[in-house]
Structure 1
Amino acid sequence: MHRSHPTPVLRHAVILCHPDPHSFNHAIADAYCGAVAANGQETILRDLYAMRFDPVLKAQERPTIENFTVSADVQAELDVLRGCQAFVLIYPIWFGTPPAMLKGYVERVLGSGVNPRDVQARLPTSFLAGQRLVSFTTSAASQPWLSEQGQWQALRYVFDHYLSHAFGMQRDEHVHFASVVPGMEQRWADQHLYQVEQQARATCAAILAERYHPRDEQAVPFRPLA
């Protein structure tokens, strides 16, 4: 009798980077993971501060050197992340950029073995190729202030768009919550978390549709900021 193989579960890697376990960023991660579970998919939460992740790139980890090697902690992360269809970054904007620990995670883990020549040639060499990138960020500053300082546009260019281009990811989306400060009114917190859940549901629907209607495998071109 023919036995059908079970369909692999669709998975989201949720990469959280905030030192305070009671932060709104943690609430975002909880809301996203809960909404994904409610849609029958799985999340893998990587709480970088709780993991005490080492963000410092080692000399032997540079892909351009002859004796390139993957450190044990990086290999363990790669083993956990492989097979995920969506990669979700959750972090605060500090001084116009992501926290150093998240940048280190990109350098050591997400970019492990990715050669700059391949990035320039737009070759999808990473396990991230063709997958979706979703970012949730918070700031104490208002959205107009971030835009006036050029921080918002710069972050979208040098982080979101660049990562999706460098790793051949098919799409990057960014949801930002401004004016997140101690004492924020509950109604605003609830509204923000509802938006997180909506984004989670949309991402679940998108990667489910892609399973049954796969795209042609090809490098994804860089998209300028609209």
Structure 2
Amino acid sequence: MKVLIIYTHPNHQSLSYAFLQEVIRGSTENTAIEDVRVLDLYEEGFNPVLVFNDNKRRRDMHRDPDFARYREQLLWADKIVFVYPIWWGRPPAMLMGYIDQMFASGFAYKDTGKMLPEGLLKGKSAICISVMKGPTNYPLLWLNNAHKVLMRKALLNYVGIKKVKFFEFGMMESPKGKHKEKLNKIYRYFQTVAH
């Protein structure tokens, strides 16, 4: 199994970065995982701004040469792991800008004339690991699970990725947030996960 980790946080001293390290540590100890690659969007200097003009058209995004390497990473991976904080009830704008540009028609899905398109990333699985200041149940009780609906239904299921797992960790700015326990949970999960 090949794992692509898409990490989205500007600070390498953050708790999100600590979760990234546990994903890597567990994955490297898992005999089912043959290779792990990390895409750090901030360190990479990824430009999340969509540009459409006479030279860049939306219908051509799936073959934009500026994104060829990122498309190859997504095609290479069996499992895509997203590690990010939840800000204002959703992933950071940097990650959303990556999604806007990478999960393009002609690459991630194909319109068929039916209500839903054909997902072109079938057979892959995804894991979303997110941390937030508020309580763990905040997105469910206050936002009608908007974060999970966005990531699972509006994005991943739409492009054919049906197997999606979430780890949403709340109270992460509190000393009572059980950080070590949650970090260990991620480490143990990736140490044993299969496709």
Q: TM-score, normalised by structure 1?
A: 0.75
SS class of match (2:111) = helix
Secondary structure of the equivalent of 1:140?
coil
Alpha-carbon spacing, 1:106–1:61, altered in 2? closer, same or farther (3 Å): farther
Larger strand percent: 2
Counting only pairs closer than 5 Å after superposition, residues 144-159 of structure 1 correspond to structure 2 as 144-150=137-143, 153-159=145-151
Contact in 2 for aligned 1:138/1:176 (Cα 8 Å): yes
Contact 1:57 1:108 in 2 (8 A): yes
Contact 2:139 2:147 in 1 (8 A): no
Q: How many residues align?
A: 188
Closer, same or farther in 2 for the Cα pair 1:83/1:69, shift >3 Å?
A: closer
Structure 2, unmatched stretches of 5+, are none
Whether the 8 Å CA contact 2:118–2:160 is kept in 1: the answer is yes
Per mean C-alpha deviation after superposition, the further-off stretch among 97-106 and 160-169 is 160-169
Separation of aligned partners in 1, 2:123 and 2:28: 23
Q: Does structure 2 conserve the Cα–Cα contact (< 8 Å) formed by 1:161 and 1:172?
A: no
Cross-structure match for 1:109: 102
- d(CA) in 2 for partners of 1:165 and 1:101? 21
**Structure 1 contact 13–87 (Cα < 8 Å) conserved:** yes
Compare CA radii of gyration and give the structure with the larger one. 1
Q: Pick from 163, 169, 173: which aligns with 1:177?
A: 169
Report the equivalent of 2:26. 35
Q: Which whole-Å deviations, capped at 9, do the CAs of 1:57-84 have from their partners, x for residues lacking one?
A: 2222523xxx556333311211233221
SS of 1:134's equivalent in the other structure is: strand
How many angstroms apart in 1 are the aligned matches of 2:175 and 2:10?
19
Residue 122 of structure 1, CA deviation: 3.8
Which residue in 1 is equivalent to 2:118? Answer: 123
Q: Which runs of 5+ in 1 are unaligned?
A: 1-9, 208-226
Given that residues 61 and 112 in structure 1 are in contact (C-alpha distance below 8 angstroms), is that contact kept between their aligned partners in structure 2?
no
Native 8 Å contact 2:19 2:186 kept in 1: yes
CA contact (8 A) 1:87 1:133 kept: yes
How far apart, CA to CA, are the structure 2 residues paired with 1:110 and 1:202? 29
Distance 2:45 2:61 in 1: 24
Does residue 11 (structure 1) correspond to residue 6 (structure 2)? The answer is no
Higher relative contact order (CA 8 A, sep 6+): 2
Structure 2 counterpart of 1:44, from 25, 29, 37:
37
**What fraction of aligned residue pairs are identical, expressed as a percent?**
21
Asked whether 1:188 is paired with 2:178, we answer yes
